[in-house]
């Protein structure tokens, strides 16, 4: 099987598994316990936090471990919006992950926040002039993803951050897809808060982290024993935190080389598919694109049909967002970049990893061309 659905999830790296194992067996202490086993767990948790702080370019106290990307994003958006006295206005984009859109909708429905959506262009980049016109004196938070999970477009969050800061507001960046490929430190992203998820990086599902400047007051979502400096109560998942830190360290050590190598494979895949299927349309930006994502429309087919054809030929990919899988609605991301609803149903996303090879790419392009041809001949 050729696995090209790494934007949905990745396998756990062996080094991560080996680092986690002791904390599920012998070193199973609760970091809050006052005995040697508890102290050892607390020390390991502190060391994992310090490693992640290095990755985010923050202080360890500014890193909060969560149950994944969704929780990190919920904590950032609701926690910052409810924690700051500045006002009740939030700005976001139409191409954010549901974790962002639904958290903001919750603030609108339950807390009366006013929400503005900044338009994106045909390749999914935020319109900076429009953003400048939307940020107000009562804007508590702007939330923008570093890279889109469906079309792979990378935002200029540094420019967005400069604009947001000049207006005195706060920027949260969803770096779940960008992590491992781009520099996701707060400084590089121009952000005050950044969310990541372990399972996109070779750590297990169900662990993530939020890094947020300590000057931000964050209203917690989970109340209880006051762990994570009160930002997230609940006994810490030491094993998962250690695993996330190892995954972050490994991906940051090899990032420049991996990004260049995988971007070349991605470009090879794009070129091969464009040659084999002349009517295929690449979505997203050619220039500002994650190394890992190549997403196409195959007009006149159905995305689900192409996926099935690919799977029959041993290639696993996706019709876009894993979260929207099974839904018959066209992707809101594709609609937001101006793709018509019928063409939007023909989307197929290939997402690569550092394990992807040139042979995988060649085989995937052949399989895609065959799958598309079979569908278009059948009609």
Which positions lie near ligand PLP, rule CB under 6 A?
A: 68-70, 73, 97, 99, 145, 149, 174, 176-177, 197, 199, 208, 322
Q: Which is nearest to 289 in space by CA: 184, 156, 191, 195?
A: 156
Least CB distance from residue 70 to ligand PLP, whole Å?
A: 3
Alpha carbon distance 255, 132 (integer Å): 32
Q: Angle 314-257-66 (CA atoms, 0-180°, nearest 5)? A: 75
Question: Quick one: 95 or 371, whose CB is closer to ligand PLP?
Answer: 95
Alpha carbon distance 118, 133 (integer Å): 9
What's the token pair of residue 343? 């063409």
Would you list the DSSP string of 24-85?
A: HTTT---TT-SSHHHHHHHHHHHHHHHHHHHHHTS-GGGEEEESSHHHHHHHHHHHHHHH-S
- Who's near 252: CB < 8 A, 6+ residues apart? 55, 180
Task: Establish whether 328 is a catalytic residue.
Answer: no
> How is residue 1 annotated by DSSP?
-
How big, in percent rounded to 5, are the helix, strand and coil portions of the chain? 45, 15, 40
Alpha carbon distance 152, 161 (integer Å): 20
- Who's near 71: CB < 8 A, 6+ residues apart? 208, 221
Least CB distance from residue 103 to ligand PLP, whole Å?
A: 11
**b/e per residue, 11-23, with b = 16+ CB within 10 A?**
ebbeebeebbeeb
Question: Quick one: 174 or 192, whose CB is closer to ligand PLP?
Answer: 174
Least CB distance from residue 327 to ligand PLP, whole Å?
A: 14
Token pair 């995305």: residue: 303
Burial class of 295 by CB neighbour count within 10 A (0 to 12, 13 to 18, 19+) = buried
Least CB distance from residue 150 to ligand PLP, whole Å?
A: 8
Alpha carbon distance 27, 156 (integer Å): 43
**3-state secondary structure (DSSP) of residue 322:** helix
Strands, DSSP E only, in the chain?
2-3, 63-66, 89-92, 114-117, 139-145, 171-174, 193-197, 208-212, 281-282, 293-297, 315-316, 347-351
Q: Which of 132, 217, 323, 342 is catalytic?
A: 323
Residues designated as active site: 323
């Amino acid at each position: 099987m050729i696995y090209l659905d790494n934007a949905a999830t990745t396998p756990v790296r062996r080094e991560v598994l080996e680092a986690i194992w002791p904390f599920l067996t012998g070193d199973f202490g609760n970091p809050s316990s006052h005995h040697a086993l508890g102290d050892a767990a607390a020390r390991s948790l502190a060391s994992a936090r310090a490693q992640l702080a290095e990755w985010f370019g923050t202080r360890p106290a500014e890193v909060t471990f969560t149950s994944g990307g969704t929780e990190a994003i919920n904590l950032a958006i609701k926690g910052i919006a409810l924690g700051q006295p500045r006002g009740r206005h939030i700005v976001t984009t139409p191409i954010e992950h549901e974790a962002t859109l639904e958290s903001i909708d919750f603030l609108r429905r339950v807390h009366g926040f006013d929400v503005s959506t900044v338009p994106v262009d045909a390749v999914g980049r935020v319109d900076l002039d429009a953003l400048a016109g939307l940020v107000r004196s009562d804007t508590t938070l702007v939330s923008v993803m570093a890279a889109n999970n469906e079309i792979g477009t990378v935002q200029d969050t540094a420019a967005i951050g400069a604009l947001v800061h000049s207006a005195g507001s706060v920027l949260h960046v969803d770096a779940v897809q960008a992590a491992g490929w781009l520099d996701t430190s707060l400084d590089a992203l121009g952000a005050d808060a950044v969310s990541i998820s372990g399972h996109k990086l070779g750590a297990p599902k169900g662990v993530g982290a939020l890094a947020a400047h300590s000057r931000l007051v964050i209203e917690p979502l989970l109340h209880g024993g006051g762990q994570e400096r009160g930002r997230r109560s609940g006994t810490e998942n030491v094993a998962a935190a250690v695993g996330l830190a190892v995954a972050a360290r490994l991906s940051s050590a090899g990032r420049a080389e991996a990004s260049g190598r995988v971007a070349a494979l991605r470009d090879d895949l794009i070129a091969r598919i464009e040659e084999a299927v002349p009517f295929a349309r690449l979505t997203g930006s050619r220039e500002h694109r994650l190394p890992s994502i190549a997403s196409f429309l195959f007009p006149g087919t159905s995305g689900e049909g192409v996926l099935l054809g690919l799977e029959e030929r041993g290639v696993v990919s996706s019709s876009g967002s894993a979260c929207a899988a099974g839904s018959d609605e066209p992707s809101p991301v594709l609609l937001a970049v101006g793709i018509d609803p019928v063409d939007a149903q023909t989307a197929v996303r290939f997402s690569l990893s550092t394990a992807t090879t040139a042979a995988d790419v060649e085989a995937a392009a052949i399989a895609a061309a065959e799958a598309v041809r079979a569908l278009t001949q059948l009609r």
